[in-house]
Amino acid sequence: MGQNEVNKDFDVIIIGGGATGAGTARDCAKRGLRVLLLERFDIATGATGRNHGLLHSGARYAVTDGESAEECIKENMILRRIASHCVEETDGLFLTLPEDDIQYQGKFVEACQRAGIRAEVIDPKEALRMEPSANPALIGAVRVPDGAVDPFRLTASNIMDAKSHGAEVLTYHEVVEVLRSGSQVTGVKVFDHKTKATKSYYADVVVNAGGIWGHRLAEMAGVRVNMLPSKGALLIFGHRVNRMVLNRCRKPADADILVPGDTICLIGTTSSKVPFEEVDDMLVTSKEVDLLLREGEKLAPSLAQTRILRAYAGVRPLVASDDDPSGRSVSRGIVVLDHAVRDGLEGFVTITGGKLMTYRLMAEWTTDLVCKKLGVNATCTTAIEPLPGSRENAEEVNKKIISLPLPQRQSSIARHGDLAERLSHNTPVENSLVCECEEVSVGEVKYALNELDVNNLVDLRRRTRVGMGTCQGELCACRAAGVMSREGKYCTRRAKEDLASFLNERWKGMRPIAWGDTLRESEYMSWVYESVCGLNMSQKQSE
């Protein structure tokens, strides 16, 4: 395919469609900059979409890293305001089990108070009443303002707001070269995965928000950022076992957080170093599943008798401190690198480290730096102004779409906040369900296709939860592919390819835990698709 020079100029190009990149695009656009966001696949495909979805209170870091704890609690309170539709205010308990040192509790509460985190010691019996799933053997409990946050919604909402402030967002655009003129970065060359074309875009500043892939982007620019890929595996259970986030009251360790997220709950995570070659294809091992289950049961014993839906892993972009050439000293805090100061390379900024919780603060700091470089004087408003979806009270939205059946109404408000009123819901067909487990209607799928940058079924899943329920695509995948075809998103051959790739992606997550009912259901699913419908499960489909 040919090479196009695009002469459109931007003030800033942001590389990476995770929460940080999306947040930075929003902040920059709101401060009046001309913004281009580039993402090689879909939004929230990296670490953003592969974590607990925990709205940290900061309590977990209080003892070991006071600074992170303070950042967390501040951002926690901000997200409750600006992203209320992505957040569930469940509160959390830090449990002390008989094998843990109860002395740690005092230290923990004190550290929380120092960081400004409300931490309230709860009588074990009262804790069990509040959270019946908690291990009844617990000897201590502390209540903290933890919660759940949906990273997909959060990222999508930031993107939406960035676009409404003029930002251009291109997904499936992979940066293949960072363009330089001497010691000045001038733009990037990208490969468009959809059209297979290569294009160039220019801007005064390029921001590297590529997460673990930022390591490679820095290399393209000719600078070195020492990253240490750290794999974290998690298990998703079929339904909510707990109402509150459960943590162990001890030094942070493996598999000691259980988060209720939407219809499911998740236990995680593990932590292991992985080589860079593996970061694009993380597989969860049976050892990891074993560890997660063993530790998870200690928090909530009923997990042992709960169906597991899938296992997945993400890669944390840990950064080695600049002053430690051995790379062993790792910073878990936010790292903003001005490569002009650090490496003498103008027009290039790397934002990394941090966490999902602090994405907005990371974006703010990055935007501050970009503005300084561009000589723009504008203040950050992202901590005050609510994101699209969080601007109106859920009760008001509920009244506007009262004609929908109740579970559908509740689900779409939970997923889209006040934007739920934009779902098309006029005809019986639009009100019929695509995904029965998660109550996603045809109208909601159409809305996602038309307004939320959906290119395939996996993208659709991130916007709507299609295929995230117990059936893992068994009933919804073909219906969704049908709606996408009818809406002119793709032809029959592409629809079949997409269907096969979606089902394979689902199987990848089921495989490490494929036993019992999950295995039975996946066997049924492959029987439906392969034997009854005759779908070829390999990617290539005949015309």
Partner 1 sequence: MNLQQHNISDNNFEQCIKCTVCTVYCPVAAVNPDFPGPKQAGPDGERLRLKRPDFYDEALKYCINCKRCEVACPSNVRIGDIIQSARIRYAKKKPKVRDILLANTDFVGTLSTPFAPVVNVALGLKPVKAAMDAVLKIDHRRMFPKYAFGTFEGWYKKQASRQAAFSKQVAYFHGCYVNYNNPQLGKDLVKVMNAAGYGVQLLEKEQCCGVALISNGLINQAKKQAQTNMASIRQAVLERKMPVIATSSTCTFTIRDEYPHLLQLENGDVREQVELATRFLYRLLAENKTKLRFRTDKKLKVAYHTPCHMEKLGWSYYTIELLKMIPGVEVQVLDSQCCGIAGTYGFKKENYEVSQQIGSRLFRQIEASGVDFVVSDCETCKWQIEMSTSKKCEHPISVLARMLED
Between CA 543 and CA 536 the distance in angstroms is 12
CB nearer to partner 1: give 218 or 404. 404
Minimum separation from the CB atom of position 116 to partner 1 (A) = 30
Q: Segment near partner 1 (CB under 8 A), from 102-110, 113-121, 303-311, 373-381?
A: 303-311
Pull the structure tokens for residue 463. 């916007």
**Is 470 a binder of partner 1 (CB under 8 A)?**
yes
Between CA 281 and CA 508 the distance in angstroms is 10
Its sign, for the CA torsion 483, 488, 492, 497, is negative
Between CA 150 and CA 158 the distance in angstroms is 12
**Is 524 a binder of partner 1 (CB under 8 A)?**
yes
Which of 117, 266, 308, 356 is close enough to bind partner 1 by CB under 8 A?
A: 308
CB nearer to partner 1: give 147 or 187. 147
**Is 294 a binder of partner 1 (CB under 8 A)?**
yes
Contact (CB, 8 A) for 455 and 41: no
**Is 405 a binder of partner 1 (CB under 8 A)?**
yes
The one-letter code for the residue type at 505 is E
CB nearer to partner 1: give 24 or 263. 263
Which of 516, 533, 537, 538 is close enough to bind partner 1 by CB under 8 A?
A: 516
CB nearer to partner 1: give 49 or 238. 238
288-325 residues labelled b (16+ CB within 10 A) or e (exposed):
bbebbbebbbbbbeebeebebbbbbbbbbbbbbbeeee
Between CA 243 and CA 201 the distance in angstroms is 47
Contact (CB, 8 A) for 38 and 375: no
CB nearer to partner 1: give 305 or 326. 305
Which of 410, 424, 526, 541 is close enough to bind partner 1 by CB under 8 A?
A: 410
Pull the structure tokens for residue 533. 């419908």
Pull the structure tokens for residue 24. 């930075």
**Is 240 a binder of partner 1 (CB under 8 A)?**
yes
Q: Segment near partner 1 (CB under 8 A), from 74-82, 218-226, 256-264, 326-334?
A: 256-264
**Is 475 a binder of partner 1 (CB under 8 A)?**
yes
CB within 8 A of 165, min separation 6: which ones? Answer: 26, 29, 30
Q: What's the N-to-C CA distance of the chain in angstroms?
A: 22
Between CA 110 and CA 126 the distance in angstroms is 21
CB nearer to partner 1: give 433 or 460. 433
**Is 239 a binder of partner 1 (CB under 8 A)?**
yes
Which of 174, 177, 343, 436 is close enough to bind partner 1 by CB under 8 A?
A: 436
Which residues sit at the interface with partner 1, rule CB under 8 A?
238-240, 260, 262-263, 286, 289-290, 293-294, 302, 304-308, 405-407, 410-411, 436-437, 439, 469-471, 474-475, 513, 515-517, 520-521, 524
